[in-house]
Amino acid sequence: MLSVLVANPKGGCGKSTLATNLAAAFANSGMKTALADVDPQKSSLTWLKLRPQDAAKIEGLNWLKNEGEMTKGLHRLVIDVGAGIPKQHFDVLLKAADLVVMPVLPSIFDETTTGEFLQKVETLKPISKGTKPIAIVGNRMRANTRAAGRLEAFLDDVGHQVVTRLSDRSAYSEMASQGLSVFDRPGAHKSIIESDWMPLIQFVESQDWAYAVG
Ligand SMILES: Nc1ncnc2c1ncn2[C@@H]1O[C@H](COP(=O)(O)OP(=O)(O)O)[C@@H](O)[C@H]1O
Ligand SMILES: [Mg+2]
């Protein structure tokens, strides 16, 4: 089993969007997948309730109630963590994860909060030793904007692998409102799946391989 912790203390940066789309990507490729929600706003569990019966199955785990609850035989677990997570709680959740995915928006406030949080968690052994990598994802990127340019400068210095950039697309909220993701309608979202998501999926899957041999 491979477990992905989606975290960033800033609200609205795309954690639930990343968590739900990643979970759906795994489920649609035939893997037994669960989505654990550790956010009082319960966005991921709400999304699962909207999910159509015939969509690829994703099991919901309410970690607000039962943190660490697990199902047997899972191939992939995605953990959606709420905003404002303190370092201590991140440390506990990190034990259940193989890697961290951290979205960042092109906003000075998001960059500052993310930078400060990274400095704190870099003192944790699995992070400082690189045994649990942090995959940074630039989110809601709009080409040739000043904000995107500044985020690029931030990403250049972030000190962790910047795995991909997600462009700003209304498809995410449109699909989410139906309990779906871009991976549930791959034909309609072929170009963003290939350009924006495949680098992240490949990065996650390469951790599985590292885990298997290591
Ligand atoms: N790449 C994107 N393009 C367009 N809208 C996005 C994108 N990523 C997130 N959003 C939207 O931004 C809002 C906040 O995203 P969300 O995933 O809920 O953030 P978080 O879980 O970090 O609070 C949602 O309305 C979501 O649809
Ligand atoms: Mg959320």
Q: What is the pLDDT of residues 157-188, one digit of tens each?
A: 999 999 999 999 999 999 999 999 999 999 99
CA of 36 to the centre of ligand 1 (A): 18
**Which 8-state DSSP code applies to residue 193?**
I
How much is the mean pLDDT over the chain? 96
Q: What is the pLDDT of residues 90-105, one digit of tens each?
A: 999 999 999 999 999 9
Q: What is the pLDDT of residues 129-161, one digit of tens each?
A: 999 999 999 999 998 999 999 999 999 999 999
Answer yes or no: is the C-beta of 44 below 6 A from any ligand 1 atom: no
173, 177, 189, 191: residue to mutate for ligand 1 pocket, most atoms within 8 A of CB? 173
Give residue 78's region: left, alpha or beta (phi > 0; psi -120 to 50). Answer: beta
Measured distance CA(158)–CA(118) in Å, rounded: 9
Q: What structural domains and CATH numbers belong to the chain?
A: 2-213 (3.40.50.300)
Tell which atom from ligand 1 comes closest to the C-alpha of 170: 4
Pair 33, 181: CB distance under 8 Å: no
Pair 120, 86: CB distance under 8 Å: no
